[in-house]
Structure formats: C-alpha cells, structure tokens
Structure 1
C-alpha cells in the first residue's frame, strides 16, 4: 500500500481494536499512587477518587503570579455562585454556548489534580461508564513527547503507543470519533512554533512531533478530532487563543473537601480532628491545603508528629513542614530498603546525605531553568545514579511504564513544585555553610570563600527574587530564609556540616536579613513583590510591623494615623492573607502618601467594591489594576477611579484588563479623570468585547467631545455589548455626538436603559430623537437626562458650572471688611462696628455668601484667591450657629459645615468624623477651586495654577439636605479672600 493511500477500518475491525485499547487503558489507569508515583502503595482509583472542583476558567492567557499567590486568592471565600463542570463533560457546551467545542484547555497549579482528572476520564471511558460515543482516546503526555526526536507520521506515533492500532491505517474517515489528551503543557520542551511550522494534513506523512502537534491543535490534522490539553497557568499562553474553544480550571480542594480528605486519610478520627484543628491555626498551611498533594504531605508529617512529638515541635510554618517531611521520607526509605528500625531522622547516613544533596542540587539547577521535569542526562549532571535515586521515590518520582514504545524512556520530577523549591533552598544553604559558595555568584566574581556569610546569600537571593517577572523564586526565598533559623537548622543537622556561620552568629544573620528585607520593603516599587517580603519576614518570625497593623486594624484607629509606605504594605499583607472577601475597600480611608496608596493597590483584588476616587492615582496605577483584572477568582465588581488624573494612557492600560475573560467588573466610574477622545476607541473595544461584563460606565466631566462620543458609539452598535447605563454628563457633547448615539441605539436598541447627557448641548432635533426612544417599545431606554443643557455648557473642565457669588454683609465679623462689590473680604485690626444682626459671626473671623446652593441635578463651581496664611474655605447650612467661639460656630468643626483649611504647609479637610491631611510636594497655591454637585452629595476642592490648571485636593461624598452657603474664615490678621471672576480665557484642564 502506498504511503498516501488510506484504508479505513471496517466496523468489526474498529470495534475489536477499540475493545483491545479499552482493556489496555483500564489495566493501566485503574490504580493510583498518592504523592509518590509508581513506587508508592497503589490503591484502586475508584476507592479514593473524589470529584475535583472544576469550573470555567476564562482564557488561556498568561498569569505571571507564583502559584502559591494564586492559591491565596483561591482560598478566599467565594462570593459568586459558580457552576462546577464534571470532568467527563468538558466537551459539552456551557449554558448559553451554542458553538461546538473541539479543543479544551484545562488550567490548574501544580499538584491540584489535572492529571487525576485525565485519569478519571480515561478510566470511565475504558470501563464503559462515560463518553461511549468516543471511538478512541489517546493519552499523550508532553513529558513523553519531549523524548521523540525522529520523524514519524501521526499513525506511527499512535501505533508505537498502542500497538493495536497497527491494524488500522487511518482514523480520518470522518466517522471515527477520537480524543487526544495532551497532559502537562507546562512540561513541554518542544518549540510549538504555530507561526512558522509547515502545514501537515496527512496522518500518514512522517514529520517531527512539533509539527504534528501544532497541526493537530490548529485543526489541519484530523479537524474532527477532539483535543484536551492540561497546563499550569504560567504556560497556558503557548497555545494561540483562537485554537482554544473552552478553558476550564481545576481549583483543588475547598474547605469541606480538605476536612473530608484528612478524615479519609487518617483512620483515627480523633487524630484526624487534631490535624484539622492544627492546620487551621496556620493561615499559610491552611491555604496550601487547597492543593491535594500538600494535604498528603501534611497528613504524612502530622500523623507521625502528633502521635510522638511535643506539641511545641509540631510544624507551624511551611519550612518546618517540609523539613519534617523530607526527614520522615528518609525513615520510610531506610525501613523499606535497608530494613532499618532506627527512627531518628536527624542522624543521616553518609549515603543518605550525599543522595539528598545531589537531589537538592538538581532541584536548584532545574528551578533556575524553570523546569519541573527532567531526564537521565539531567540526573547524571548532578552525579545521580538513576537506580539509586529511585529509592527516594517520595521526593523524586520515576515515571515509566512497561509498554514498548512511548513509555520506555524514563522521566523524572519532584512530587510537587514546592518540594523542588524546598530542596533548592537546602542546596543554596548547604553550599553557603559547608562549601562557602554563593549559588547566585557568577564564576567570574572574585569572592573570598572564607568571607562569605549567610546574610550575603540572603541578600543575593532577595535581589534575584525581586528581579523575577513571574515570581518563580518567591517560595524558594521563603524556604531559604526559614532555614536560617537555628531551630530549623537543628532539624537538618545530619545534613549540614555547619549550622549558622563560622564568623556570624545565627542571631546576627537573622537581624541583618530582617533589616535588608525591611529596607527593600521601603524602596521596592512593585506592591506584589513587597507582599512576598512580608511572607519572608513571617518565616523569620519578624512580625512586629504586621502585628502593629493588626492591632490598629482591630482597634479601628488606622484612620487616625498617617501611615508610612511600609505600614501600608503591612496592611495590604494582612488584608490579602485574610480569608474574608472585603465588601468595600475605600482607599482614602487611610491617611498616607501617594506612595502609600500605591502599596495598598493589591488589596483591590480581594474586594467586591474598590473606591479609589480622589487618591492622586496616575496612569502608572492603571497597569497594576489591569493585572488585577486578569487575576483568577478576583471578586471585584465595582471600580471607582474618579477624581484621579489617569489621562488617556491610563485608560488604555486599564482596558487591557477589562477585556480579559477573567475580569468581572460590572461598574466602572471614571468621572473627572482628565480624559479626551483619545481613550474612547479603547473603551469602545471593551464595550464590544464578548468577554466584557461591564454594565455601568460613568464618564462625566471629561472633555470627550463629539469625536470621542462617536468613537464610543461604535462599541454600542456591537451586538456583544452588555452596557445598561452610560454617563456622559458634562462631556462637551453637541448635536453631532447625540446623532452618533442615536444611530447606535437604532442599530442595537436592546441593552442601554439609562443615558445621562445633562450639562451638554444636544440641540432640539437630536435631543428629540433620543427622547423618542423613551416611548418607542423597540428600545430598552428607560431614563434619559438632558437637563441643564445649552451652549454655555461647551466650556472645558469645570468652568461650565461657574456661578456668581457675593459676600453677605449681614454675616461678616466686625474685624472683617468687604470690598470690590462684596467679592473680597479682609481681616483688619480695627473693629468696624457693624450693627447687630442674628446672622453675624460675633467672635470668629468668618463670613458667608448670600447665595444658597441647592437643587436637583444642579452643579456649581467657584474659585477664590487667598492672600495670607491659615484660611478656611468651605460651605455651611444656614442654621449653623453664629454666636460664640465654640465648635458649633466654627466652619468645618460641626455637622452643619465642611471646609478646606489652607496654610503654608499644606491642606486639611475638616468635618466631624472626617479629618484628612493632604500634604503636597508642590508649593501651596493661593488659588482654590470648589465644585459642588448638591444632589449627588459631592464636594471637591482643587488647587488652581496661574494657567488655570486644576489639581485635585480632596472630594467628600455625603448627603446634603439643605442649601449650602459658601463661607470663609481667618486665623491670621491682614489675610484676605477674593471671589474670582471665571472667564473663558482660563484653560482649566
């Protein structure tokens, strides 16, 4: 038969081959080893399998966080109801999906149960329990495919694996339904060059494994075949998103499943309960138990230690847990292979020590390369004898099968990434203490071995971890520092010739390292990297800063103190480590600097509502927020960024996250953010993205103009948009922009329910067309606001809300004089002997304006120029007391008034229950702008430059119940305040 001729199987042949393959797969997958692979005690799969929690996983996009950080997020109590997916149903469309699914990508961190899910699906098919419409399942792990260097056809590859397929020349007749299962994309060492690999459509044509894989995934080969790919999150982006039809995620154990596991694993139920109680006392241990493999490690250690050890010796940190785990495995190994009854793990034989150190060296080298699997040549490089290494199967698992062909070669890995990271830390520590070598030093560096200190290694390790873009050294660093403690080194004294340092005491080492970590916490710019430094401090037992923050948090005094940046980082660490999801995170609750606010940004990923308004954030903060939007399990639904100078480039960065399938933002507020038409195409792309969940978008008081609204309207025409509410108040919109909106509504009338176009100039015709949509049943529009319109609203910034104010002579204190048509007030020494009036301030040097400001939807803006120091600028209810010098007469010190205090050293906002200091690095300006949206309960203050540029100082959100009267007060004689004329020449953007 020629290579290109296809002989399709008869029904009888197909059935016979299928039955033979099912029998082979059933034999191969019916047993499972927990944690320790081929050499462990095997159990029947059906006896110990528990359905894992699998959900829709968004996209195959890159997640650069260390997997322990991802577990920390997953450990938060879920606030939304997710629909679990049974592993046998992964090729079935989810509710609301109508397209067929060919390729499924299942993500999950190391050890969370991806391979077990694969085993479940294969075994159920082989035993006739599920997916019986499938003719063939082909499990092809990437760790095995890496070893195939020669060129074969797809059918030859499959025949090497399953010899029964030799009876079939081809499986591409369109009638044969096949599933290819590629487990472990993160272990793939093939280039997977989707762009440049040659096209291959023939299952009988020999070519490289890489070419076969890319053509299978792209659908050139066997387009009717189903593909299931599993991967750790960091490697998921190797597959082009257009090749993936559905993404799922394995989440591991939830809290009830953790307890269920320990009660199944430990036959003594009292001991099981004791283990569960102990795990709950340590947040870090409890978090890690979301990973089934870590539950096995914990059960292995705690079952032995709670039976035999003093309670004080029971592991409370990750370093202690892994140290005991390694030593216990040595006992198990010696009993099994050497018939050794000695159970003191601290006394190691020379062969045990040499073997562990070789494994530790292998762990470090492969961690540096980012490898989780390795082969015989990697073992030999570290001086490891392959047969001898198999004895340590609990630490290093040899995975090979008896079949000829695909599984003949041996592939190695550590049981879990965290064990590899722990052993890598052991190698770094032993190299420093015993060999006087710094594993992070270049060979070219001339270092005197005798002068190398453990604290030097720590410094290098901290530096390397902070440089890592994906945090791959984060857990390694925590282990390395934890091993610096004398108590942990004593556990490993059989492994380490030296403990501590010959010239540096253990206490000195820890002290220097704590100081270096603290210095980096102060100067590091990445909030995420800083959080890991606090984990490192926790391993060293240096928790004073975190404990201080915990005390202040519990006592409710945090808002009363000015937080330093390192205190903000400690607070962020506390909030992130809590298992609770915050209902609301209001950033300006905390009195800190702009740098401090930046340190608190990671907390956004653990709350439902993030109120970040008026915190002097810039476009740089948007990059952090965009990464948060792409965080799995993020509960954030509402984000308020108003009154921050984000500019168009900030929104551009933000939109990258808003289009992520992992983003669940439903409400986005961007009022007064310095935006122009330049950001509108990015926002339109969010509205038209099928991934976007956005329902409310508030853009008020940005100079978008007609051109920007036209770009935005393109997104409203897209059938995928889900927006219900759009706020464009005060955005310089005229008839042209309204025409674009009207056209968008006609094209897609089924979603938008509320549209705010107040304080614009829509004109009669276009305003009428939009109004007609309110009564037309074709449209969903229920609320349209075009109030307060007119040509006067086409002024940039807040000038469109300018109001005319005059000072009220009946309120002025006798030591104040009015001038310039009652628009200027000055403090004078001489008593002016004004006639008595019930509205007059008799003791305090204050004055109010005549005009009371209120009204539904009414907005006001005014500017004052002050000459002097310590001046009050505020608003009051008419009923505020005027007589005496108590707080109830002082602007800002009672519930009937609000004020900004301006002095040479900065600005302070005052209102009972609110006292906010706003120091700025720039010189204090002598001109202040005040913006009032009475019905919205918004009062904002700005400093105004000589060119008219506004810099936001503070915004107070409250509920106003009476008209407000602008007022002023003085504390220094000869000071004055002038109500400014706001003309069209000011550029207030």
Structure 2
C-alpha cells in the first residue's frame, strides 16, 4: 500500500523563474502561504473548481526531481485503467519528454508520433481523435516544441485534455495563463512522512524509533518531504537502529548519504558474490568513475546521461554494467523504447553527494586527480584542484557556491565540508565571516554547513538572547548581522518550542526591526501559517506597521494553522 504525494492548486502564480536549488525549494515549501493554495486529489485535476466557470482542458503540474510527479501520472493512469475514475476518457496517451527529444529531429505529425509510440493506434484516423475524448500526458517537460505549442493553444485537437509535468525551471517556458489549472507536487506532508515509515518498516517499534530520530534533526526532517529521501533514510536507519547494526547513528545529510553508499556496496557484494567482504579495488574504481560523472555533469544541471557523457567521464561503455551493478539504487541504466540506453542517479542529491566525494578524494590524492583528468575537464569546479592547501580548496568552494545566485552548489558544499578533519577551525572562522556579508538565503545554507561541521557556537550565542527572563543586560542587546542570521536559522530550524518572540528585547535602532514593510509582513504571515508552528505570542509594539502589513497579518491570524494566542502591536 503506497503513500502518495499531494497536489496543490497554486493560484496567483506569476510564472517567474525560480532558480533556487531544488533542495532549497523543498525547504521553502513548508513555509509557503497556505492561503494561496488548495489541495486537490490527483484524479480530480481536470474537474473545475466551484469558482471556475469554464471546463479544465490544460493542466500544468510542477515539482522538483524525485518529488512524485511521474508517480502521480502513473496513479492517474492505473486508476483509469482499472475503471475507478475518469471513465469518460476513451484513450490516454502518456508521452515522456526524454523519449520525445530523440524524435524531434524527425518532425513527425501528431498521428505519426502516436503510431510510433503506440503501434496499436495504426488503424485510428485523424477524424477518430476528434470524435473521441482523449488525453495526452507529457511527463517531464524540458523544452517546448511546435507540436506541443499547438496542442496547448488549441490549434490542434482543441477538445483533447492535456497534462504536462515539469520541474519548476523548465515549467516557466510556458506562461501559466496558457493553462486552465496550475498544480504543484509538494511531496510528503508531515503526517505522511510518519505514515511512510510506518508502512515501509514492518516492525512498528523500530518504525517509531526511526521516525523519532528523524524528528530530532531538522535537516533530515525537511528533506523527508522528498519521497526518494524518505526511502534512503529508511534504508539506512532500519539497519542502523536494529540490533544487527551498531555505531553512531547518522544525524546529518552527509552521514546519511555515506551510510547509504556503504550499505549499497555491501548489499551488492553479498548479492552477487555471496561474500560479506568488499572488493576494495573494484569498488574504488567504480565510485571514482561515478563521482567523476556526477562532478562533470553537476554544473550542467544534467540528471539524465547518455553514452557520450559516460565516455567523457572515462567510463568504458563495454563495462558499464559494472558501474550500474555496484549499487543499482544509486546509479541506474534504463532501456527506453525510443531513447535507447539512458543513465541517471536516483536523485540530484545523490549526484551532488558523489560529486563532493570525488572532489574531496581528488584533492587529497593528487595521483588520483592526475589519473582522472581528461582534456574536457576544464570546468569552473575543476579549478578548485589548483589550490595549494585544504583551507584554500574549501574556501574557494565556499566562494564559488556563494557566487551562484541559484544555490546550485549549496548541497554540494554541505557534503564537501563535513569531510574535513584538519583546518576545521580556519574554515569555521571563514564561514562565520561570510555569514556577516551574505544574503539571508545564503546565510541559512552557511549555517547548515556549520551544522555539518558540528559547530553550533553562533546558534548557541543567539539562543541565549531568546531565553525568557534572565539578565537585564540582554534586554537591549545589539545583534550583529551574523547573529541576526543565526536568529533566523534558530527560529526556522529549531525543534525547541518557542512560545514568545518579543522584538522589544532588541535594539530598535536595528534596521531590520523598524518600520516593518510589506515583505516582512508576508514572511510573518507565512510563519503564522506554518503547519508545525508553535508560536503563541508575538510582540510588535515597537514597530510602525503599515496598512498593507496589517492586512497581511490579519490574513495570517485567520489561518486554521495559526496557533498565536497573544499579539501586541501599536495598531491594536
């Protein structure tokens, strides 16, 4: 019995390109304003909402990699095929984009394209497609072509239903006004996370123990919005928390992925050779090859690889089964009907983990780097290897990640930093300096990096300001920019319940505390709407709220999620 991700109707979507890293999108998802969204069942996406006056013909569903878009499509088709729902639709034609890409040079008509993918449609004539109620599903949009444009605009088969799924960045190729309904796959809600582990792990005592451990780490808990990560976590913790395994239980992303890689290698060794011992040399060769592929493709943002990509990374195509066989749940080889062989990592985060592992190994062992270097390896990331010391190497990686507005290397950086043992103090100091002059979004990731390095000094420093009561000297404390960033991190990521946040404790001359504007009130409203928020008292009495801010806060207070009991402000 499965646990399915939820779809949300997203209203007021301006179609702006969101270039944030996909994990950052997941972290932001739990803070989105619920007032602009309505949950909808997958099978109901073509049913008009009460306020909609015209039928729904075109639907766009967005969502990051691994969040459940394709599973939603598969569930829709399965329920239809079993006669449960949507029986007014006679034909459903699912067309994956990555296969369509191989066909685009052939410039086929729609009928010829369908006959190519579905040979059983050979007897259907164009008039049949106009006579019957049919539906096209284009799964995994990456680029728009003329045929799809004509379908969306209704120039071609205006009565046909059209469902397109896409990652957020690619979805913005099409203005949202072209769709009757825009939805987003949000991943597992907090209750669904617990439901997943309860169903995935048969021993309920062990399942509860696993979930309790996940709740103790905010980073792990947030990542479990992604079904793929729930599966990785369950794979690791089910063994680690059982009597059969011993050792330190992973608490960070890096530790979790490291244990997952070790588990997959052991599993492969036991399955194919019947031995518990690992062939170290073969495993090292395979991991380096996969790491190099992950590293080289990271800047390109590629999730799907072809044979030429493998060749560029130095992987012998004749021996590719060795690589995909090392850990089938990390790197997989697929045989698509029209696309031929394609290769992929199970998720973008796995690719970034292996890229970071590869970068670290190459830097500490220059002989490996010399063996792995190819004439095509002249990317910006490869320049990191020219640094003379570990401190310079990591400092350059931090600089590179901060320069990229999209956060493209943020998770790569988190994975990379936990591997250091020497230069730790220097890097921690460097990160704290960077927090001083970084944007709030960037500083949050730098705090995650400090967490990976097991350094909590800044967070602990800010927490003393948040304690209720205490020394009067703290009542008008001036926080540095880094401490304000730490304050945001504590409020967003702390598992401790915070019942009161009184801004009057802090120096009102701080720019961030005076004349709260619309943007700040939008953020406050989103906090009030948090599903797991425990904020019960908020004091804004030292701030001059503007009219728009009052309206936004009022909307937040009306939310069913809001648990606030006391709000003090000059407008009351």
Supply the distance in 1 between the matched residues of 2:396 and 2:30 (Cα, whole angstroms): 31
Distance in 2 (CA, whole Å) between partners of 1:561 and 1:473 is: 35
- Which among 49, 55, 62 is matched to residue 2 of structure 2? 49
Question: Which of the residues 209, 223, 226 maps onto 2:158?
Answer: 223
Name the structure, 1 or 2, with higher relative contact order (CA <8 Å, separation 6+). Answer: 2
2:366 corresponds to which of 424, 429, 435: 435
Partner of 1:341: 275
SS at 1:426's partner residue?
Answer: helix
553-562 vs 129-138, which moves further: 553-562
Q: What is the aligned partner in structure 1 of residue 515 from structure 2?
A: 614
Between stretches 584-593 and 60-69, larger displacement belongs to 584-593
5+ long unaligned stretches in structure 2: 559-567
Q: Equivalents in 2 of 1:115, 1:230: separation in Å?
A: 8
Deviations 1:165-207 (A, max 9, x none): 111131565322121111122xx2x4x2xxxxxxxxxxxxxxx
Contact kept in structure 1, 2:20 and 2:407, CA below 8 Å: yes
2:313 corresponds to 1:389:
no
Name 2:454's counterpart in structure 1: 541
Q: How many angstroms does 1:296 deviate by? A: 0.8
TM-superposition CA deviations, 1:64-114 (whole Å, max 9, x none): 333333333444699769643111110111232222211111122222211
Alpha-carbon RMSD: 3.9
8 Å contact kept, 1:93–1:99? yes
Q: Shift of the alpha carbon at 1:310? A: 6.7
Q: TM-score, normalised by structure 1?
A: 0.50
Question: 2 CA distance for matches of 1:510 and 1:475?
Answer: 19
Whole-Å separation in 1 of the counterparts to 2:398 and 2:557: 43
Separation (CA, whole Å) in 2 of partners of 1:87 and 1:171: 30
Residues 215/585 of structure 1: CA separation in 2 closer, same or farther (3 Å cut): farther
Q: Does 1:563 align with 2:479?
A: yes
Q: 1:443 to 1:277 in 2, by over 3 A?
A: closer
In the alignment, structure 1 residue 317 sits paired with structure 2 residue 262 = no
User: What corresponds to 1:106 in structure 2?
Assistant: 61
Of 423, 426, 430 in structure 1, the residue corresponding to residue 357 of structure 2 is 426
User: 1:523: which partner in 2?
Assistant: 437
How many residues are aligned here?
541
1:454 to 390, 393, 412: 390
Q: Select between 554-563 and 260-269 the one with higher mean Cα deviation.
A: 554-563
1:480-499 correspondence runs (5 A): 480-484=416-420
Q: 1:297 to 1:212 in 2, by over 3 A?
A: same
How far apart in 2 are the matches of 1:397 and 1:245?
36
Match of 2:412 among 461, 473, 476: 476
Of 281, 285, 305, which residue of structure 2 is paired with 1:354?
285
Distance across 2 between alignment mates of 1:233 and 1:445 = 25
Bigger Rg, which one: 1
Equivalent residue for 2:199, pick from 251, 264, 268: 264
Counterparts in 2 of 1:350 and 1:228: CA distance versus 1, 3 Å: same
CA distance in 1, matches of 2:309, 2:267: 26
Taking a change above 3 Å as real, the CA distance of residues 81 and 264 of structure 1, as seen in their structure-2 partners, is: farther
Deviations 1:873-926 (A, max 9, x none): xxxxxxxxxxxxxxxxxxxxxxxxxxxxxxxxxxxxxxxxxxxxxxxxxxxxxx
Secondary structure in 1 aligned to 2:406? coil
Q: 1:566 to 1:451 in 2, by over 3 A?
A: closer
Contact 1:399–1:411 under 8 Å retained in 2:
yes
Contact 1:76 1:581 in 2 (8 A): no
| Unaligned residue ranges in structure 1 (runs of 5+) | 1-47, 193-209, 485-505, 598-611, 652-657, 659-664, 670-692, 697-936, 938-955, 960-989
1:400 equivalent among 307, 328, 335 = 335
Give the match's secondary structure for 1:222.
coil
Report the equivalent of 1:293.
228
Correspondence list, 1:951-966, <5 A = 957=570
Q: 3-state DSSP class of the match of 1:229? A: strand
Aligned 8 A contact 1:588 1:614 in 2: no
Three-state SS of the structure 1 residue aligned to 2:464 is helix
Structure 2 residue 297 is matched with structure 1 residue 366? yes
- What secondary structure, in the 3-state scheme, does the structure 1 residue paired with 2:40 have? coil
Deviations 1:254-278 (A, max 9, x none): 2222222212211222222221221
Partner SS for 2:108: coil
What do the CA deviations read for 1:480-511 (whole angstroms, capped 9, x no partner)? 11122xxxxxxxxxxxxxxxxxxxxx33x211
Q: Give secondary structure in 2 for the equivalent of 1:174.
A: helix
Give the Cα separation in 2 of the matches to 1:90 and 1:382. 42
1:400 aligned counterpart, secondary structure: strand
Residue 400 of structure 2 is aligned to residue 464 of structure 1: yes
**1:592 Cα offset (Å):** 6.4
1:490-533: CA deviations, max 9, x gaps?
xxxxxxxxxxxxxxxx33x2112111101101122x11111110
Structure 1 residue 331 corresponds to structure 2 residue 284: no
Bigger strand share:
1
Q: Is the 8 A contact 1:125 1:131 kept in 2?
A: yes
Change (3 A) 1:162 1:309: same
The structure with more helix, counted as a fraction of residues = 2
- Which whole-Å CA distance do the structure 2 matches of 1:277 and 1:424 have between them? 30
Structure 1 counterpart SS, 2:164: strand
Structure 2 vs 1, CA of residues 694 and 261 (structure 1 numbering), >3 Å: closer, same or farther? closer
TM-score (norm 2): 0.84
What's the CA shift string for 1:772-798, capped at 9, x where partnerless?
xxxxxxxxxxxxxxxxxxxxxxxxxxx
Alignment of 1:658-737 (within 5 A): 667=551
For 1:414 and 1:53, locate their aligned partners in 2 and report how far apart those are by CA, in whole Å.
24
Distance 2:31 2:247 in 1: 29
Q: Residue 138 of structure 1 aligns with which residue?
A: 93
Name the CA distance, whole Å, in 2 between partners of 1:642 and 1:241.
41
Partner Cα separation in structure 2 for residue 265 and residue 132 of structure 1 = 32
CA deviation after TM superposition for structure 1 residue 137, in Å = 0.9
